[in-house]
Each structure stands twice: as structure tokens, then as C-alpha cells.
Structure 1
Amino acid sequence: MSDPRNPAGTADQVDEKEILLNEKAKALFRAIRCLECGSGQNIEFSNAPTAVALRDRVRKLLRDGLDSETIRDYLTQEYGQSVWFQESDIFWTDPVLRGLWLGGALLGGLVGVTVLRRRGTLSLTSKTLASPRLLTKTQIRQLTQQIVGQRWRWSAAEERTLQTILSPPAQQSGVTRKSP
């Protein structure tokens, strides 16, 4: 049964328009910082009163026909540039936080190697660190088992590949190079 106020076909157009409007709104919601929640949250999922009001305002502006850039300009005038997430504001791209993550990973690796060396289960020398080709098949197997557990075993194909990778390059006989 069709609605007498809407001619046939316009309901689909309204639904399409509403879906497009919601997609544009969600994209803007992800880019707008919640003014009450702090610097780490956008207004998309925030229940703070200002976030709800901002979502309603953005939807109204989109329904009024304003495009995303005009809405950006309007909100920037209204609230300032701090309402928008900037590239450097995002957690994993902030140089200070990136340094902390990298430092933590390096420190964790250093602690892990130190613990394994003290246990005597990992014997790394400057020679083995300089070239992985100098690690024996047994050392590689021991390292792998320490990382992934005792139950893990190499398949025959993996054994052949490892042997190829870890064996020193073949020396060409009869060809000598003179140094300049």
C-alpha cells in the first residue's frame, strides 16, 4: 500500500538520500573531536551532551544542503581548529608517543635477549649477530622452539629451505679476484 502523500518511487529516493546523508555525517563525526571527552575521542560514539548536540547540528546542516567543507568551515569558526582531529593528534602518529612505543619495544627486546642469555638458552656472539648464515641448524631450531614452543617441528620443505638459506654461499673455484 502506497502513501498518498508520496508518489510512487520517491520513498526509495528518500531512503537513498538518508543513507547518503548518514554516511557523510558519520565521516564528519569521526573527524570531530568530543569537546568534553578529551583529545582521544570523536563524537561518533560519545554520549556527552555537547557531542550529541554537535551530531544533531551536523545532521541538520547536511539536511539543509551544506557540503562537508562548508560544515568544516562553520564548525572551525564556531569552536576553533581544536574541534578537528589533526594528523599529529592521532595516537599512533604522534612523534612523542611513537618514540615511547619504539623505546618500549626496544627495551622489551633487550630484556628478552638478556633473560635468555642469562638462562644459557641463547648464546649470541658478535659473529652470529653479524651473519645469520653462521647459525647452525641446531641453533636455529633451538631459537625457534624458544619462541614458538617445544611442540613445534620443521616440515621437510622448511628444513630444506633453512639449509639453503643458512649454508654459506658456494665458493667459485678457479676464479680469483685481484684487489686493486
Structure 2
Amino acid sequence: MYRLISAVILALTLNAPCHAIPTDLADQRLREILADVRCLVCQNQSLLDSTAPLALDLRNQIRGMIAADQSNDQIHEFLTERYGDFVLYDPPFKSTTWVLWITPILLILIVITGLWTTTRRSNGETRCQD
């Protein structure tokens, strides 16, 4: 009897980690994807943070796609085909999104140029006063 109980306990403990690892990896993948996808209903919230009914439906759909062994790229492609590039927090660089990528760089260059010209002018004025 002792051997039978030991064998059952051994079989159960050896089997448990095999099922826990894919679930943890699937949950981690789900959280990563949900954090990268914008909620279409809520302003500035990811699907991970949103409680809107549409977000819950999309979460369940993405969970099903992960269970069907679809890659992250396939899931992102499905979402962008259905909802457009707006759904991604990190949209790809293409002709329709180039303004999103170029505008911050241009603003930084404008600020640096403005600061540089302001400091040059103020340094020139102090030299003349001395």
C-alpha cells in the first residue's frame, strides 16, 4: 500500500510542472500582448488595464489565439487588419505613420535650436555690456 501511495504522489508531482510552465508562459505572452495593444474604447489605456466590455472580448479572443499557437506577429497582424495601426502603442514605420515617428524628432531639434540661439544671443549681449 505504501508503494502504491508513493507511486501516485510521484506521478502527480512529476506531472504538475509540465502543465504549469505552458500556462505561465501563455499568461506572460498574454500580458505582453495586452500591454502593447490600445483599448479602442478607453482613452490612453491598454487592453491589460481596461475594464470595457470590448476590451474583455478582445482579451478573450487574444487568449484563444495564443491557445491556438498563433505567434505574437500573427496576433498583431490580425488586430491591425481589423482595427488599424491605431490599436498598437508601437505602430510600424510606414507611409501612413511616418508623422508619428518624425514629429518628436523635429520637436526636439526645434527646442535644441531655440535654446542654442537664445544662449548665443544672451552671451553676446553680456559681452557688449562689459
> Is 1:47 equivalent to 2:30 in the alignment?
no
Residue in 2 that maps onto 1:8: 13
TM-score, normalised with respect to structure 1: 0.48
TM-score, normalised with respect to structure 2: 0.61
Gaps of 5+ in 1: 122-180
Decide whether the 8 Å contact of 2:62 with 2:75 is kept in 1. Answer: yes
Q: Distance in 1 between matches of 2:47 and 2:126?
A: 50
Residues 8 and 45 (structure 1), Cα distance of their counterparts in 2 relative to 1, 3 Å cut:
closer
Of Structure 1 and Structure 2, the greater helix share is in 2
Q: Distance in 2 between matches of 1:78 and 1:94?
A: 22
Residues 99 and 73 (structure 1), Cα distance of their counterparts in 2 relative to 1, 3 Å cut:
closer
Q: Distance in 1 between matches of 2:48 and 2:62?
A: 14
Superposition pairs of residues 23-62 of structure 1, within 5 angstroms: 23-37=28-42, 41=44, 43=46, 45-49=48-52, 50-62=54-66
Q: Give the counterpart of 2:125 among 118, 134, 140.
A: 118
Identity level (%): 16
Decide whether the 8 Å contact of 2:30 with 2:66 is kept in 1. Answer: yes
Residue in 1 that maps onto 2:22: 17
Q: Distance in 2 between matches of 1:54 and 1:42?
A: 14
Superposition pairs of residues 1-180 of structure 1, within 5 angstroms: 7-37=12-42, 41=44, 43=46, 45-49=48-52, 50-84=54-88, 85-88=90-93, 94-120=101-127
Residues 105 and 65 (structure 1), Cα distance of their counterparts in 2 relative to 1, 3 Å cut:
same
Shift of 1:52: 4.2
- Pair member with larger Rg: 1
1:120 aligned counterpart, secondary structure: helix
2:50 aligned counterpart, secondary structure: coil
- Post-superposition Cα deviations, 1:17-44, rounded to whole Å, max 9, x if no partner, equal 1221133223322432332345xx5625
Q: Distance in 1 between matches of 2:59 and 2:119?
A: 48
Gaps of 5+ in 2: 1-7
Decide whether the 8 Å contact of 2:42 with 2:50 is kept in 1. Answer: no
For 2:110, the aligned partner's letter is G
Residue in 1 that maps onto 2:5: none
Shift of 1:99: 0.8
Residues 75 and 44 (structure 1), Cα distance of their counterparts in 2 relative to 1, 3 Å cut:
closer
Shift of 1:110: 1.6
Greater relative contact order (Cα < 8 A, sep 6+): 2
